[in-house]
Structure 1
Amino acid sequence: MGVYPIHNLKSQVCKNEDLFTLWSWLPVRITMYQPVLLYTTEEHGCSLTTFYVRVEQHEPTLLMIKTCNNEVFGAYCSSRWFERNVKDDKGQRQAYFGAKYPWVGIEGDKDLGHSSELFMAADSKMITIGGGEGQAIWMDENIRFGKTDSCKTFNNPPLCPSGDFEIRVLEVYGFVGI
């Protein structure tokens, strides 16, 4: 195994072997760059305002959650969090944003329609990843509580057994050089 840019990461969410597995799932172009911890509840507190200030200009980001029940999950967030403020042609803030990938929204011959566009949503009260009959990840404004459901965007099961979770640690990584 060669040297990976993650070999010196000290995550409070993932063990090193889990980080290597996670790294192998990222788009290849991202794995060439050094990840940098942009935000962690351990150091920066539990506030969406602080979260946005620290992460909003970075693209992409990797969001990792460890619950109070030691469940670990997260999301690869393809767009800048700043896009939560972008308005459409009518001057309305768009609820969802994020890049579309060809494998999302296609299940065999079944096209998921609008659900294939429900990647990220965020405002001053919450963050959502995924949509369409549920959200893969939803977090409150205090980055303390969340929920997870099946959603059409990712065709995922709930990411923890109870569906509801309390956040022990949230970490968000960006990538230097992109």
Structure 2
Amino acid sequence: MKVKAKTTWDLVYSTEVHGRSLTTLYSRVKYSHDAENILVIKDFHQSIFGAFLTSSVRLSDRYYGNGECFLFSFQPIFQKFDWSGSNNWFIKGNEDSIMIGGGGGRIGLWLMEDLCRGRSDICATFNNIPLTLSKDFSILSLEIWVID
């Protein structure tokens, strides 16, 4: 992974500011298509976790992104889950969810359309453990930051 100095972080989507709508999320991030993103989630257990994405989330018929994507969790300490090399299932957005990572019928980070619920499971893409105390979680807040 290349080390790059990034100077600007812009908050482009926040459930606290923009509400809970997948349509609004896609609309807010569409202009940062080629920019790197940090997706940060806080659940009702106060766990903080998310993903570094090499491209913004968007509607797509197939997975996109590259091996610089990773999942992370601060539960109970900071853990980073890099690309395992086993598949290229990095990011996929559709009208009812966002999926990050996959394989074996499991998704590393799965956010439902209402942006109130999600699921984290082990997945082949990142060889991760679930990012939260419980695989199914309720979202307290979600933010997407564009790094430029």
Q: Output the TM-score relative to the length of structure 2.
A: 0.82
Structure showing the higher strand proportion among its residues? 2
Partners of 1:32 and 1:51 in 2: CA distance: 23
Over alpha carbons, which structure has the higher Rg? 1
2:57/2:98 contact within 8 Å kept: no
Q: Once superposed, what is the RMSD of the aligned Cα atoms?
A: 1.8
**1:149 is aligned to 2:124:** no
Partners of 1:27 and 1:41 in 2: CA distance: 31
Q: SS state of the match for residue 31, structure 2? A: coil
Q: How far off is 1:28 after superposition?
A: 2.7
Q: Which has the higher contact order (CA 8 A, sep 6+)?
A: 2
Q: Which runs of 5+ in 1 are unaligned?
A: 1-25, 86-92, 107-111
Partners of 2:38 and 2:107 in 1: CA distance: 17
Aligned length: 132
Structure showing the higher helix proportion among its residues? 1
Residue matched to 1:21: none
After superposition, the Cα gap between the structure-2 partners of 1:145 and 1:42, relative to the gap in structure 1 and judged at 3 Å, is same
Q: Which runs of 4+ in 1 moved over 6 A?
A: none
After superposition, the Cα gap between the structure-2 partners of 1:56 and 1:81, relative to the gap in structure 1 and judged at 3 Å, is farther
Residue matched to 2:99: 128
Q: Which runs of 5+ in 2 are unaligned?
A: 69-81
* Alignment map for 1:38-49 (pairs within 5 Å): 38-49=12-23
2:11/2:144 contact within 8 Å kept: yes
